[in-house]
Structure 1
Amino acid sequence: MKILVVGGVAAGTKAAAKYKREDRSAQVKILTKSTDISYAGCGLPYYVGGMIGTREELIVNTPEKYAGLTGVEVVTGCEVTALDAAAKTVTAVKGGDTFIEGYDKLILATGAVPFVPPMEGTGLPGVFCMRTPDDAAGLRAYVEKNHCRTAVVVGAGFIGLEIAENLKAQNLEVTVIDAAPQIMPNAFDVEMANFAARKLKDAGIRVLTGRSIQAVTGAERAAGIQTDGGPLPADVVVLAIGVRPATGFLTGSGLEMFKGTILVDQQLRTNLADVYAVGDCAMVSNVLTGQRQWSAMGSTANIAGRVLARSLAGHDAVYGGCMGTGVVKLLPDLNAGRTGLTEVQAKAAGFDPVSVVCVVDDKAHYYAGASSFFVKLIADRASRKLLGIQVLGAGAVDKMVDIAVTGLAAQMTLDAFDTLDFAYAPPFSTAIHPFVQACYILENKLSGAFETFTPAQYAAGEAKDYRVIDVQPIAAIPGAKWVNLAKVDGPIDGLDKDEKLLLVCAKGKRGYFLQNRLKAFGYTNTRVLEGGATFNVVKVPRSAGSALPPEEIKRVKGLGCLQDKRYGDRFNVRVITRNGKITAEEQRTVAEAAERFGSGEVTMTTRLTLEIQGVPYENLDGVMEFLNQHGLETGGTGSKVRPVVSCKGTTCQYGLCDTFDLSQKLHERFYVGYHSVSLPHKFKIAVGGCPNNCVKPDLNDLGIVGQRIPEVDLSKCRGCKVCQVEKTCPIHVAKVVDGKVVIDPTVCNHCGRCVSKCPFGAIEDGTYGFKVFIGGRWGKKIAEGRPLSKIFTSEEEVLELTEKAILFFRDEGQSGERFADTIQRLGFDYVEDKLLHGAVDKEAVMNKTVVGGATC
C-alpha cells in the first residue's frame, strides 16, 4: 500500500504520521512545496511580537527529524501541478525537473494561500502576508531594520488582530482596517465585536471598519495604503485579508469542488476513487446545521487528519464536523473566544434564537487578578438547546468555550448545565461556575423573571422612550435618576408604577435585583440593560436648554474636551499633534472638523496641541469620531502621562539630538502606551535639543536635554593668547589657566559649542548624551527640576529611565501630588537612587489601584 500525501504542514503530516503508526508496512510519502514542514502557523504573530524568540522555535519538526520519528518519506521543494485520478498519478516539479508519482491512496492536504487583491503596490518591500515562518521572519526583520513606527494591518479577523497586537507590543502605532462593518466578522455578533473594538481603541490601536483598501502606496517601498476613505500612511503594511484554498492545480481533475474547496464526506472521501482531502483545502460541514462550512483552522486540520488516517487503516472513524470554534488574544488583558452559531447565523439556519449578554466574574472576585467574562450565550427558544457562545475577557475564555463545545456536541439544553460539578477554587473559578451563571441568567430571561434590552436593542434605539435609572453603588450616569438599591423597600418616590424604566447598573446584576423588587411593589414596565454600563455606552438624552451635570463635564474633559466657561454646553476639543508635528493632510482634517463641528476656529496650546473651538456638546461624539477616522485623537487631560513636548532641535543650529525622533518614541511608548494608566497626578515630559532650554525641560515632571560633553586633548593645546575655545564658550566656563585650556565639568552645560573650535585640535570630539531633570513644574506652584547625576548616552537608556520614573511615581506618589511633591516628600537622593540603581516590579505596580488628583 502506497499512501501519497500532497502538502506537509498540519493535516498532511498528521495524517501521514498516524497512518504509518497504524501500518508500519505501508509506504507513506509526502510531497510538499515548502522547505519547511509541520510549522507552527498559529504562532507566527507571536514571533513578530517577540514572544517566540527564534524562527527555529516555529518549526515543530524538520523534514529529517519528522522522517526519523515517523518513517514517512518527505520530499520538500516539490510542487504538484496535476492529478490524473484514472491513472492514479500526480505530476510534480522539483528543481526544474518534472516527474510522475503514483499512489494507491492519495491525500490532498495542500492547505490555503493568502488572498492578495489585484491592486497596485502589493509587491513593494514592506508589504507582508502572514502564512509561513518566512513571512513572520521577514516582517520582524523589516520592522527592526527600518525602525518602523507605524503599521497598517488590512483585515480584522483573528490573524489580523493578533498581528496588530504584536506590532503594538513592538511599540508601533497600529491601524487595523476591514471592509466589513465590524471586526471579527462572521465570528462574533456586532455588539460583542464593537465592545472588543472599543477596548482595542482604548489600548491605542486604531480600528477602522467599513473601509476597503484600494492600493498600497509608495515608490521604492511601502509608504501606506489608499482606501475608499482616504490615504493611511504607514512604514509597513500587513495584508491579513484572508486565505483561499491552494487548489488551482486541480482544475480539470474531475474533483467536485465549491469555491475552490474540495468537497468531502465524513470520512474525508472526495468524489474520485481513492482520493481524499483534508485541512484548509477541504470543505467540511457544520455540526449544528449540517450545512457545508469551510474551517481553515489548525485544530480542524489536525483532528480531521487523524480521523482520515484511522479511517484508511480500517477503523470506523468519521469526522463529525466543525462548530467554528476559535480563540484569539487581542491584547495583554483581552482574549476572545467563540463556538457554535452567532445569533445572526442561528436565525439564518432556521432557529428561533434567544440570547443574553452578561458580565460574570472569571474567578473569585476577592482573589488577586480576578476579572470578568463578557459573555453572549445563545439558545433555541423552544427547545432551550444551547446554540453558541461568545466570550471576551482578560482570563481563560477558552474554558468557557470548551464547556460550550461539549454541550453543543451533546445537544444539551441550558438547564442540563445547572447542577454539573465543575471545578472550583478561588484562583480558578467561582463557586457557581461562570458558564453556569450565564445559563441561569438566560434561563431567567426565558422564564420572564429577567426582562431586558440587549445591547443590540439598546444601540438600535429601542429604549429611547425609557427613563434611565442608575442602580450603581454610586451615581455615575449623568442625567439619570440614581436609586440606592439597599434602601428600596417599597415604591420609589417620583417613579410611576406604569412608567417605562430602564435599569442600568455596572454589569446587570444590581439591575436584576432592583427589577425583582419593583415587580413585587407593582411596577409593570421595567427593563434591565444587559451588560450594564460596563459593556454599553450609556447616555441620557439632554433636554433642550438643560445644564450639563458636573459628572458629564468631567467625563468629556477626560476625553480632551474642555468646557468654554462662557457657555454651558460648548467645548474646546484638544487634538494631539505629536509634538507639534502635523502633516498637511492632518491640518486639512482639523480645519474641516472645526468647520463641520465647531466655530471654525483653531487655537494652539502651549504644549503644541491644537484645540478646535466652540464645539457644541451634541457634536462631541461626531468630531471625535471624525478625527479618529482620519488618524487623529483627542485627549491630553487627566492624571496621566500628558502629550510630550519638544523643541525643534532636529533642525536647530544648536541641536544636539534628534528631538523629534526621541519625543515621538516617548509619545508612542508612554502617552499612547500608558494611555489607560492612572497616576497620582499629571505627568509632563519635555525634550530639549540643547541647554538653551527652549521648551523648559527643567519645568516639567521629567525633562530631557541633549548634551555634548567636550573632551580636551591637552597635548594639543598651545596656550594661545586668544583661545578660540575660551572665546567661543557662551557661558564663559572655558578658560586658559597656566597655559592650558580648562573646562570646569561642574559648571559646563555641555552645549558643545567649543568642539572643533581649536585650530590645533585640542577639542575635536565630544560625547553626545542626555541630561535628565526630574521634579519640575510650572503653574500655581513653581518647582525647578533637578538633574540626575548620570549623563545618559543612548535613547534607550532615556526611555528606560522615563518608564522607571513613571512607575515609581505611580507606586510611591500620593493621590493629588505632583512628581515634584513626591520627590520633596521622599528626598531627592532617595528618588535618584531608586531611579538609577533600584528595581521596579512593573507587574505589581501596574496592578495597583491609583486614584488621580488632576483637575485639568
Structure 2
Amino acid sequence: MSETFVVIGGDAAGMSAASKAKRENPDLDIVVFEKGEWVSYAACGMPYYVKDEIEELEDLVQVTAEEFREERDIDLRTGHEVVGIDPEARTVRVEGDGETFDQPYDQLLIATGAHAIEPPFDGIDLDGVFTIHDMDHADAIQDYVTEAEPQTAAIVGGGYVGIEMAEALDERGLEVHMYEMLPHVLQPFGESVATVVEDHLREQDIHLHLDTAVQGFTGDGAVDGVALEAETVPADIVVVGVGVAPNTALAEDAGIEVGETGAIATDAYGRTNFDRIYAAGDCAEAHNVVTDAPDHVPLALTANRAGRAIGQTVTGTPTEVGGMAGTAIVKAFDIGAARTGLTDEEQARDAGFDPVSVEIQASSRAHYYPGAEELTVMLMADRESGRVIGASIVGREGVKRIDTVATALHGGMTVEDVENLDLAYAPPFSPVWDPVATAARVLSGKVD
C-alpha cells in the first residue's frame, strides 16, 4: 500500500515539493489542496501585468493545474481549503465542492504562504482600494484601471511592491503619489540606495511623501482621497503595499510551533515540531546564513528551493532546505537596486558583529566603452574577522552583481577573498577591477 503525501498550498513551495516527490517516487500518492483557483504562478510578475507589459494574466502561470493533474499525475484539488490539522490522527480536514471531509496523510507539507497586511485604515473597504499579493488582486487592479479610468493613484508603502506599482500606474498614464511613513523608501536596502532611487522617482514625476503617515481614505462608495494628518490628497485608486504576514493560523491551531519571527519554526530539513509535518515558503522561517539565526524573508527562490528539498526528503533522501541571505533586486523605472545580507549597521551589531562599511562609485563598464553607467556599491564586513556580511548596489545597469556578494555570504568569505576573486573582464561588461572587487579592496583597509 503506497503512502500519501499531502500538501497544503499550491504555489511555489507546495508545487515544487509535489513535483519533486512525484519524480523521485512515481508510486507515491500526492494530494495538493489549494483554496484558490490559481497555482504555480509568478507573483513577482503581477506589477508588469498591471503595467500592460504582460498581455495575459495566464502568462504568469508556470505550470497549469491541468498539467499537474494530467502530465505529472498529481491529485491537485483547487477550490479546496484545509481548515484543520490533526497531527495525532494524521489527517487534515478539508472543505470543498460543498462537502467537508478528512484526508489522511503519511507526510504533510504546510505551504500556506503569506497575506498582504491591511492596516486598520478608515476607508480601506472603499472601492478602488487594493492590496496586491495574488493573481485575483492583480486582475482586479487591472480591471479597475481599465474600466473606472482613474486619473490619480496613491501608493501606500515604499517597498518592492510600492516601487513596482508606481512604475506600472505611471505607465498607464496616472499621476502617482507614494506615501512612506519612514524617512526613505526601500528601507532594507539602506540609505545610500534609497536616496538614489528617490531622486530617480522624482525625475519620473512620482510625488514622494516621505516621513508621512496615512490616516485613512475618503470617499462615498469609491475612494477619492488619502487622508493625512494635515490634509487630504486626491486619489482615484489606492494600492496598499506595506508588507506581508505569514499564514500561520492553521498551523498554530494544530499546536505547531511558531518562531520569534512570527513564521512557522522549522529545522534544517523543513520539519516542524511534529513528526512527519513540514513547512516551507512564505509561511515558514528560513535559516539566515549571515546571522546564523531563523529569519523570515518571503522570497520566491527560498520557497522553491525549500519545497524541492522537502520533496526529496519525504521520498527517502533527507535533504536540507538550505540557507538564505535575503538577496533581493528591484527595478525602479530606469534603475535597479539590489541588496543581500545585512545593510544596516545597527542590525549588524544586534546580530553580534562589529560592522564596518564603505560606499564607492564605480563604472559599470570600462570608462571609455559606450553605455558605461555609474554604480553605487555599499559593502559591509565584520571588523575583527574580515568576513563580508552584506551589500547593496544601485545604478542603471549591472546591479545583478549583488549575486557575487550573495555567493560570498553563503561561502563565509572575507573581504580579502572577495578582493582576490577572479571575476570576468571585458570592456563592454566591466572595468578591469569589478565594482564589487573595488569595494572589497577599499574595505580591506578598514578591517583588522
Q: How does the TM-score come out when normalised to structure 2?
A: 0.95
Q: Is the 8 A contact 1:189 1:344 kept in 2?
A: no
Displacement after TM superposition at 1:180 (Å): 2.3
CA displacement, residues 420-478 of structure 1 (integer Å, 9 cap, x when unaligned): 2212222222222221111112224558xxxxxxxxxxxxxxxxxxxxxxxxxxxxxxx
The separation in 2 between residues aligned to 1:44 and 1:229, in whole angstroms, is 34
Tell me the residue number matched to 1:165: 167
Local SS of the residue matching 1:118:
coil
Q: Is the 8 A contact 1:156 1:176 kept in 2?
A: yes
The reply to whether residue 121 of structure 1 matches residue 106 of structure 2 is no
CA displacement, residues 730-750 of structure 1 (integer Å, 9 cap, x when unaligned): xxxxxxxxxxxxxxxxxxxxx
The separation in 2 between residues aligned to 1:163 and 1:96, in whole angstroms, is 37
Tell me the residue number matched to 1:335: 336
Q: Is the 8 A contact 2:385 2:447 kept in 1?
A: no
Return the letter of the residue paired with 2:5: I
Segment drifting more, 74-83 vs 88-97: 88-97
Q: Is there any run of 5+ residues in structure 2 with no aligned partner, and where?
A: none
More strand by share: 2
Mapping of residues 445-844 of structure 1, within 5 Å? 445-446=446-447
Change (3 A) 1:229 1:380: farther
Mapping of residues 150-229 of structure 1, within 5 Å? 150-185=152-187, 187-229=188-230
Displacement after TM superposition at 1:380 (Å): 1.0
Q: Is there any run of 5+ residues in structure 1 with no aligned partner, and where?
A: 448-856
Change (3 A) 1:243 1:418: closer
The separation in 2 between residues aligned to 1:56 and 1:70, in whole angstroms, is 20
Tell me the residue number matched to 1:430: 431
Local SS of the residue matching 1:264:
coil
Tell me the residue number matched to 2:396: 394
CA displacement, residues 124-160 of structure 1 (integer Å, 9 cap, x when unaligned): 2211111112211221221122222211011111111
Q: Is the 8 A contact 1:385 1:412 kept in 2?
A: yes
Q: Is the 8 A contact 1:126 1:237 kept in 2?
A: yes
Tell me the residue number matched to 1:105: 107
Change (3 A) 1:315 1:232: same
Tell me the residue number matched to 1:381: 383
CA displacement, residues 671-692 of structure 1 (integer Å, 9 cap, x when unaligned): xxxxxxxxxxxxxxxxxxxxxx
Local SS of the residue matching 2:92:
strand
CA displacement, residues 711-752 of structure 1 (integer Å, 9 cap, x when unaligned): xxxxxxxxxxxxxxxxxxxxxxxxxxxxxxxxxxxxxxxxxx
The separation in 1 between residues aligned to 2:104 and 2:196, in whole angstroms, is 53
Tell me the residue number matched to 1:38: 40
Local SS of the residue matching 1:197:
helix
Return the letter of the residue paired with 1:327: I
Segment drifting more, 63-72 vs 17-26: 63-72
Change (3 A) 1:160 1:79: same
Segment drifting more, 432-441 vs 206-215: 206-215
Change (3 A) 1:57 1:341: same
Displacement after TM superposition at 1:419 (Å): 3.2
Instruction: Give 1 or 2 for the bigger CA radius of gyration.
Output: 1
Displacement after TM superposition at 1:76 (Å): 0.2
Tell me the residue number matched to 1:365: 367
Displacement after TM superposition at 1:194 (Å): 2.5
Change (3 A) 1:437 1:364: same
Return the letter of the residue paired with 1:232: V
Return the letter of the residue paired with 2:361: V
The separation in 1 between residues aligned to 2:8 and 2:166, in whole angstroms, is 32
Q: Is the 8 A contact 1:38 1:62 kept in 2?
A: yes
Which residue of the other structure, out of 50, 53, 66, is the alignment partner of 1:48?
50
Question: Matched residues, percent identical?
Answer: 38
Displacement after TM superposition at 1:260 (Å): 4.3
Q: Is the 8 A contact 2:10 2:32 kept in 1?
A: yes
The separation in 2 between residues aligned to 1:312 and 1:66, in whole angstroms, is 19
Q: Is the 8 A contact 1:48 1:166 kept in 2?
A: yes
The separation in 2 between residues aligned to 1:17 and 1:395, in whole angstroms, is 36
The separation in 2 between residues aligned to 1:172 and 1:281, in whole angstroms, is 34
The separation in 1 between residues aligned to 2:249 and 2:217, in whole angstroms, is 26
Return the letter of the residue paired with 1:2: T
Displacement after TM superposition at 1:62 (Å): 1.7
Displacement after TM superposition at 1:312 (Å): 2.0
Displacement after TM superposition at 1:366 (Å): 2.5
Displacement after TM superposition at 1:102 (Å): 0.9
Return the letter of the residue paired with 1:355: S
Tell me the residue number matched to 2:440: 439
CA displacement, residues 274-322 of structure 1 (integer Å, 9 cap, x when unaligned): 1100000011221111222102111110011111112222224212322
Local SS of the residue matching 1:328:
strand
Tell me the residue number matched to 1:654: none
The separation in 1 between residues aligned to 2:439 and 2:131, in whole angstroms, is 38
Tell me the residue number matched to 2:269: 267
The separation in 1 between residues aligned to 2:438 and 2:184, in whole angstroms, is 28
Local SS of the residue matching 2:146:
helix
Which residue of the other structure, out of 300, 303, 306, is the alignment partner of 1:301?
303
CA displacement, residues 242-286 of structure 1 (integer Å, 9 cap, x when unaligned): 111122233431111136421101100000111100000011221
Tell me the residue number matched to 1:255: 256
Tell me the residue number matched to 1:77: 79
Segment drifting more, 436-445 vs 45-54: 436-445
The separation in 1 between residues aligned to 2:230 and 2:403, in whole angstroms, is 40
Return the letter of the residue paired with 1:94: G
Tell me the residue number matched to 2:24: 22
The reply to whether residue 411 of structure 1 matches residue 412 of structure 2 is yes
The separation in 1 between residues aligned to 2:418 and 2:191, in whole angstroms, is 27
Q: Is the 8 A contact 1:49 1:169 kept in 2?
A: yes
Q: How does the TM-score come out when normalised to structure 1?
A: 0.51
Q: Is the 8 A contact 2:193 2:337 kept in 1?
A: no
Return the letter of the residue paired with 1:82: G
The separation in 2 between residues aligned to 1:413 and 1:148, in whole angstroms, is 52
Tell me the residue number matched to 1:482: none
The separation in 2 between residues aligned to 1:396 and 1:99, in whole angstroms, is 53
Local SS of the residue matching 2:223:
coil
Displacement after TM superposition at 1:88 (Å): 0.5
Local SS of the residue matching 1:262:
coil
Q: Is the 8 A contact 1:248 1:260 kept in 2?
A: no
Q: Is the 8 A contact 2:377 2:435 kept in 1?
A: no
The separation in 1 between residues aligned to 2:198 and 2:139, in whole angstroms, is 28
The separation in 2 between residues aligned to 1:249 and 1:382, in whole angstroms, is 44
Local SS of the residue matching 2:15:
helix
Segment drifting more, 90-99 vs 75-84: 90-99
The separation in 2 between residues aligned to 1:319 and 1:76, in whole angstroms, is 26
Q: Is the 8 A contact 1:211 1:229 kept in 2?
A: no
